[in-house]
Structure 1
Amino acid sequence: MATRVIQWATGAVGSTTLKAIIEHPDLELVGVWVHTPEKVGKDAGELAGLQRKTGVLATSDRDELIALDADVVVHCPAGQGPIEERDRDVFDLLRSGKNVVSSTGPYFVPEMRSPEYAQLIEDACREGGTTLMSAGANPDVVVPWLGAALTRMSLDVEHIYLAEIDDFSPNPNLNMMVELLGLGKPAEEFEPWMEDGGYFQQSVLEWLHLLAKNIGVELDEVKGSFELFLATRDFEIPIGQIKKGMVCGAAFKWSAARLGETKPFMDFEFIYTVQRDHPDFPGLPLEVRLVVEVEGAPSSRTTVDLAPSLDPDAPERDASLPQGVFHAAAASVFNCIPVVLEAPPGLFTMPVPGAWQSPSAK
């Protein structure tokens, strides 16, 4: 019997998972939730960029989808907006008997928000007999999982550095580029979305604390800072013109020492721009680079470069949508559908067998 799937949201990541669901012979698409009114009533095949119809029409009626019979929900809303709104959707879906694999969250270390919040997740899962899992290329694959996995080759670990470096210039998503990333705005109008309790700030805190948990380290306060890149010239990108002196990128950094120490034990950077030749932007061979460095005995470094294709002659290499990063994020969620179906009820995070463990944790 085919696994019955609901796709929740159809943005850059969601439309890619939607296409994968439709094309998979062992999955049956039974519902699609959309945020924007112009998508309501459209066939899922059209929203996925396919030439054929599926007979499944998109809706913005959450209650209609919650009432559907489905095995799993692929939850891919935009990475912004109040956490409380996505919590309400996810908790109701879990209570209704549907497993949820989400590209967002934060659902990694929920007790950081409060013990009561963590209990709400467990109660919703217990009521529905369901499982909740956060997934994605970054954070799930890179920060808490790959960061811990790389320590398996070290007998001692002194410091872990992680970074995501993005060239967002091909991205046509106006809302993401302007409202979320602040591109094209004057510096004084830039909002760093690093407020306590906000979606991105909370997510980063949980990524780092899950990595720390995976290696038996207790972190002190996580401190954040950022710097802006201002365009050095006028130029055009798919969303419009970026004028000289306007925001063309930013570098966010979070650092945390081990509890009771002052020297940073973990540093995570998120660096992005739409002006690839900006003098302060690190050079990139492709569109996106993910970096993990472990300083220890021995030290190690791995980089993951993402693009639509590694073949310089491939026609899709220069495609603007979907970019390699969206494919990677979508695949990391889509490939976890069987994982969340097979996991025990409750909150699930990917185990990291053999990761280095802090001596104090042994």
Structure 2
Amino acid sequence: MSSTDRVRVFQVATGNLGTELIGRIREHPDLELVGLHCYSPEKVGRDAGEIVGIGPIGVLATGTVEEIVAAEPDVLTFHGVFPDEELYVRVLEAGIDVVTTADWITGFHRDRNHPHPSGRKASEVIQAACERGGSTFYGTGMNPGLCQILGIVHSADVAEIENVTVTESVDVSCHHSVDTWKAVGYGLPADDPSIPDSLYRYTAVFADSVYLMADAFDLELDEVTFSYDLGVCTEDVDLGWYRLPKGSLGGSYIKYQGLVDGVPRVESHLEWQMTPHTDPSLDIKGCYITQVTGDPSIYSKHMIFPKPGVDLSDPASFAKIGMTVTGLPALNAIRSVVAARPGIITSADLPLRSFAGRFRI
């Protein structure tokens, strides 16, 4: 593929993230949207642009893997909340690359916490499909799509690193995904015994972000530990799209810490708040914070602002920013993924240009 050819993209899913990315793919100078796969029967046959509210674009939604393969895209972008490994395998075997934002960075978390029906590790199943099809599989990990990259690049001018910590400190009430927040236990009584396991099971992809950073630092970790603190709602909260009763989980501070000889060296923290009415109340910064302790030490805030003219009093406009930040690391990397070797790759395998945005000229 030449540098001027546009990559043919077939997208999967039109939830919160997928809805935003239909328009972003169409605007992206590297990409051409050639198809949309939907799981909801009522969407199949409709124009993709009409489904996401931007008007007809001439791409009709389909509902079978056979139709994906028949379209002969260069890459499939998967933006569902949870992976569809059966779909991944069939597409990869057909020689189509896959870029996903759903719960995959290195494969550690999927292998450990989500056994594949075959009894094999998910990574083994996907790698074998890549080998059969000569295709490439790359996962950015949803919102971890950015944090581990920040941790790595901020260490470029540091000698004798002692610790690298990246914190995602955000109000998550703008992410209107009921399935996501039910999965992690938000809205359940804070003393519900299922919450610790739910928090771990559905955020453990952030352990992958720790392993990825450690790999880039050539640091062998003994283990990655999980710990948490809970914010309990002090009153009933109705967000319009989700209800949080008094006494329920409304915020959490989660730490994934990579240890060497018992000392935390590489860390990924999640400071999430659905409402400020919690005890304890979290000090949300609304940004990514990267801290590198070493010689010298680095403290950096990655703050994200809307383009001029966006009305942040509109919850939908605010939510779009989060979806853009989640999806663009995947879209901007597509050209590099298509050019990469077959097999499972991670961000550590891609060139720096993979993480570069695009100018509008």
Report the TM-score when normalising by structure 1.
0.82
Match of residue 227 from structure 1: 229
Residues 1-362 of structure 1 mapped to structure 2, 5 A cutoff: 2-24=6-28, 27-51=31-55, 53-78=56-81, 80=82, 86-109=84-107, 113=111, 117-135=122-140, 138-143=143-148, 145-177=149-181, 179-189=182-192, 191-193=195-197, 198=201, 200-201=203-204, 203-258=205-260, 261-276=261-276, 278=278, 280-284=280-284, 288-309=286-307, 314-321=309-316, 322-351=319-348
Q: Quick check: 1:137–1:328 contact (8 Å CA) kept in 2? A: no
Q: Quick check: 1:308–1:323 contact (8 Å CA) kept in 2? A: no
| Structure 2 alignment gaps of length 5 or more | 113-119, 353-361
Task: Provide the aligned C-alpha RMSD in A.
Answer: 2.9
Secondary structure at the aligned position of 1:335 is classed as: helix
Deviation at 1:116, TM superposition (A): 6.2
Whole-Å Cα distance in 1 between the matches of residues 135 and 234 of structure 2?
51
Whole-Å Cα distance in 1 between the matches of residues 256 and 226 of structure 2?
4
| Structure 1 alignment gaps of length 5 or more | 355-362
Q: Quick check: 1:135–1:336 contact (8 Å CA) kept in 2? A: no
| Shift in CA distance, 298/194, structure 1 to aligned 2, threshold 3 Å | farther
Secondary structure at the aligned position of 1:108 is classed as: coil
Aligned residue pairs total 337
Match of residue 355 from structure 2: none
Whole-Å Cα distance in 2 between the matches of residues 2 and 263 of structure 1?
47
Secondary structure at the aligned position of 2:155 is classed as: helix
Output one character per residue of 1:96-129: Cα deviation in whole Å (capped at 9) or x when no partner. 1111111124242559938965444333223222
Letter in 2 for 1:336: A
Whole-Å Cα distance in 1 between the matches of residues 310 and 208 of structure 2?
38
Letter in 2 for 1:294: V
Whole-Å Cα distance in 2 between the matches of residues 65 and 215 of structure 1?
38
Output one character per residue of 1:63-82: Cα deviation in whole Å (capped at 9) or x when no partner. 3323431111111110x4xx
Deviation at 1:253, TM superposition (A): 1.6
Match of residue 360 from structure 1: none
| Shift in CA distance, 123/220, structure 1 to aligned 2, threshold 3 Å | same
Q: Quick check: 1:22–1:29 contact (8 Å CA) kept in 2? A: yes
Q: Quick check: 2:227–2:256 contact (8 Å CA) kept in 1? A: yes
Higher relative contact order (CA 8 A, sep 6+): 1
| Shift in CA distance, 150/28, structure 1 to aligned 2, threshold 3 Å | closer
Whole-Å Cα distance in 2 between the matches of residues 353 and 94 of structure 1?
22
Report the TM-score when normalising by structure 2.
0.82
| Shift in CA distance, 279/324, structure 1 to aligned 2, threshold 3 Å | farther
Whole-Å Cα distance in 1 between the matches of residues 246 and 110 of structure 2?
41
Whole-Å Cα distance in 1 between the matches of residues 159 and 207 of structure 2?
26
Deviation at 1:214, TM superposition (A): 0.4
| Shift in CA distance, 195/231, structure 1 to aligned 2, threshold 3 Å | closer
Deviation at 1:307, TM superposition (A): 4.5
Letter in 2 for 1:89: L
Q: Quick check: 1:102–1:135 contact (8 Å CA) kept in 2? A: yes
Letter in 2 for 1:95: E
Letter in 1 for 2:336: V
